[in-house]
Amino acid sequence: MSAAVSHPWEEAPASGAAIDVAPGVKWMRLPLPMRLDHVNVYALDDGDGWTLVDTGFDSARSRAVWQLLLDGPLEGRPVNRVIATHHHPDHLGLAGWFMDHGAAFWTTRTAWLTARMLVLDEQAAPSPESIAFWREAGMPPDLLATRATERPFNFCDCVHPIPLGYRRICGGDVLQFGGRSWRVEIGHGHAPEHATFWSLDDDLVIGGDQLLPGISPNLGVYPTEPEADPVGEWLESCDRFAGMAEDRHLVLPGHKLPFTGLPARLAQMRDNHLSALDRVVAAMGESPLTAVGCFPSLFKRPIGTAEFGLALVESVAHVNNLARAGRIVRTGHDDRGGALWRAAA
């Protein structure tokens, strides 16, 4: 029987400070201006400098914290390379800044291409495709009208320009950094081609957002690929990682606290989404629903305006998975243009 999830450290490092979680491995935190108010970053000692895993947003506040870290726990030694677990801004926002100061950049090809594309794709207003996507998902007309006039989230607002040139990492690679050999294992669902790193020399696993304690990573569908199935990809990844996970592993996650009990946590994450899918089907058995109409059954709590966008893309993801599995069918549209779904007979 798998051990329960537990946390060897009860408190996170203070701003500008670090906690040694293993020989030559420092855990640090960068602030985020959102409800999830932090991202974990790690520095691994290469002898002649450091390898960083993830970076936080590109902001004046983040740079100031990094300067405290570089001058303090990192002892003024150079950053040799930055490794991004995936393309989200809180994980590679300052990669280009470190590259400007001489660091190499390692990540997966999909992460690099996606981040570089999005940094260059600045938009002052939502695209027609985005508005149509929100309407189809069932966004209320008043909120849709407001969002249509607002500047959307742009990568360039919190991601430093990414210079040309990077080192591609692939699943199955064995990389050398931080005095260890690491096997790269790729996950999907939260982000395409998300890299995790499994030490071949001790019990460490660097999990990014693929392996988190206590919270479920957002699994979202976006106008760029409206028929994607990140929930299916996530479940497949959880099953695959379950074949590698052992209770001895100490997971260094992208958010929250480092933890042990990875087999149990993978089972939890898988079961949480399977239960959510079942709840959505049950709700659609009572009456047809849009993706937004699934919020109560999917999240079981009120969804405010600030989190509405993330909730919408996650709800579409669960609808897409159920439609692909043949568990629900489309029945038409409501009078506001939202696609309606019902449980299959």
Which spans in the chain are helix H? 60-71, 89-92, 95-100, 109-120, 128-137, 141-149, 230-242, 262-286, 295-299, 308-324
* Nearest partner of 53 among 17, 26, 20, 23, judged by Cα: 26
- Using an 8 Å Cβ cutoff, are 137 and 315 in contact? yes
Tokens representing 106 are 């390692």
CA atoms within 13 A on the CB side of 326: 1
The class of domain 19-121+152-284 in CATH terms is alpha beta
Q: How far lies 340's CA from each of 37, 117, 313, 325, in Å? A: 35, 33, 16, 17
Domain layout of the chain by residue ranges: 19-121+152-284
Q: What is the pLDDT of residues 259-311, one digit of tens each?
A: 999 999 999 999 999 999 999 999 999 999 999 999 999 998 999 998 999 99
**What global pTM score does this model have?**
0.96
For 63-83, give the DSSP string: HHHHHHHHHTTTTT--EEEEE
Q: What is the pLDDT of residues 216-274, one digit of tens each?
A: 999 999 999 999 999 999 999 999 999 999 999 999 999 999 999 999 999 999 999 99
Distance CA 19, CA 22 (A): 9
Distance CA 44, CA 51 (A): 5
- Using an 8 Å Cβ cutoff, are 49 and 78 in contact? yes
* Nearest partner of 25 among 4, 1, 41, judged by Cα: 41
